[in-house]
Structure 1
Amino acid sequence: MEQIRRYSYFEIRKKSKVVEIEPLSGMLEGEASKEFQSALAMAFYESNRHVKLELGNVKTPSIATVEKLVKYALDLREKKRVFIFSHPSLPIRKYLERFRLTEIILIL
């Protein structure tokens, strides 16, 4: 059973084993940043599912945003859950590989 919640900047789908967060705009900065943090908190506290972030239409986010996502991934890992990046841009992928963060964040 899939539940879908649509907000101003994000769409959240709850599936059987994963919560999918998909940005509706191409940015994770500014106004969308506040809603993004709320969406991540909701995915973390409301369920015990893995979290998948769809990054296919997102332009390259700032390093500060990526660092927040890494911290979030570490928090999920403590709870024995996985944070998944789906279709990240090449700079994000290189950043994660360079600092060996691919053990913390699964890349699809």
Structure 2
Amino acid sequence: MEYIRKYSYFEIRKKAKAVEIEPLLPEVNDQVLNELNSVLAMAFYETNRHVKLEISKFDTLPFPVIEKLIKYALDLREKNRVLILSKPRPPIRKYIKTFSLEELILIL
């Protein structure tokens, strides 16, 4: 069973064990960040599944986005769920390894 919900900047697919969030644009601006906050909140409160975020379109992420994702991963961890980052680019992978976030965020 797959349920798809489209927003202005994101598409959400609810699968059996995870909620997949895919950005529709390769950039992050204030509107995208606001919608990301809403989408992440929806994935947290409306489901009890892991959250997979497709980030292959982004070369880098602004610090407010990284900060939001780390806080979100901590909240998910409290609920025995995991934030999964799918296909991050090398600079994002390096950031995660530099700050030892591999145990907090799963990378695919």
- Following the alignment from structure 1 to structure 2, what is the Cα–Cα distance between the partners of residues 12 and 69? 17
Which deviations, in whole Å up to 9, do the C-alpha atoms of 1:51-108 show, x marking residues without a partner?
Answer: 0000111231112211110110000000000000001111111011011001000001
- SS of alignment partner, residue 76 of structure 2: helix
- Asked if the contact 1:23–1:58 (Cα under 8 Å) also holds between the matched residues in 2, the reply is no
- SS of alignment partner, residue 40 of structure 1: helix
- Asked if the contact 1:29–1:61 (Cα under 8 Å) also holds between the matched residues in 2, the reply is no
- State whether structure 2 residue 101 is matched by structure 1 residue 101: yes
- Unaligned runs of 5+ residues in structure 1 are none
CA-atom RMSD in angstroms: 0.8
Over the matched positions of the two proteins, sequence identity in percent amounts to 61
- SS of alignment partner, residue 73 of structure 2: helix
Residue of structure 1 equivalent to 2:21: 21
- Unaligned runs of 5+ residues in structure 2 are none
- Asked if the contact 1:28–1:36 (Cα under 8 Å) also holds between the matched residues in 2, the reply is no
- Following the alignment from structure 2 to structure 1, what is the Cα–Cα distance between the partners of residues 59 and 26? 6
- Following the alignment from structure 1 to structure 2, what is the Cα–Cα distance between the partners of residues 5 and 23? 12
- Please give the TM-score of this superposition, normalised by the length of structure 1: 0.96
- Following the alignment from structure 1 to structure 2, what is the Cα–Cα distance between the partners of residues 22 and 59? 15
- Please give the TM-score of this superposition, normalised by the length of structure 2: 0.96
- Following the alignment from structure 1 to structure 2, what is the Cα–Cα distance between the partners of residues 59 and 31? 19
- SS of alignment partner, residue 65 of structure 1: helix
Residue of structure 2 equivalent to 1:68: 68
* Paired letter, 1:23: P
Residue of structure 1 equivalent to 2:79: 79
